[in-house]
Amino acid sequence: QVQLVESGGGLVQAGGSLRLSCAASGITFNWYTMGWYRQAPGKQRELVARIASGGSTYYADSVKGRFAISRDNAKNSVYLQVDSLKPEDTAVYYCRAYRSSTASVYWGQGTQVTVSS
């Protein structure tokens, strides 16, 4: 059974920081590209950042220079350091695991990030 469990969300003032974590089980973690997505109320889910098994990263323009994604294959975990938070970063943040060779996709349940102005 595959599980992705996010943690680390919360309420923070604008300019603050959080570190989101996603712990995976039930998959061979280093076979998967890991991503963080977010969904704000009334908006579509959007890609925030992703990291391939080899470590290459991608960031949405809106978070470049403020967010940093990393992974620890030994701990089956992916992290998102979120700095200089803005009210528009308020959303539920989801972890996603993707393996291109099998088109396998798994999602976590999400963690709420709320940024007050």
- What pLDDT, on the 0 to 100 scale, is given for residue 39? 98
Region 10-22: what's the mean pLDDT?
A: 98
- What pLDDT, on the 0 to 100 scale, is given for residue 111? 98
- What pLDDT, on the 0 to 100 scale, is given for residue 5? 98
- What pLDDT, on the 0 to 100 scale, is given for residue 115? 98
Q: Are 99 and 33 spatial neighbours (Cβ–Cβ below 8 Å)?
A: yes
Instruction: Give Cα 103 distance to the centre of its chain.
Output: 19
Could you give the angle at the alpha carbon of 37 between the alpha carbons of 16 and 108, nearest 5°?
A: 105
Give the tens place of pLDDT for each residue, 72-90. Answer: 999 999 999 999 999 999 9
Token pair of 82 as six digits: 């979120």
- Other C-beta atoms lying within 10 Å of the C-beta of residue 112: 12
* Average pLDDT of every residue of the chain: 97
Give the Cα separation of 110 and 25 in Å (integer): 16
Distances (CA, A) of 12 to 8, 15, 57, 73, 107: 11, 8, 26, 29, 25
- What pLDDT, on the 0 to 100 scale, is given for residue 91? 98
Give the Cα separation of 4 and 9 in Å (integer): 15
42 band by pLDDT with thresholds 50, 70 and 90:
very high
- What pLDDT, on the 0 to 100 scale, is given for residue 27? 97
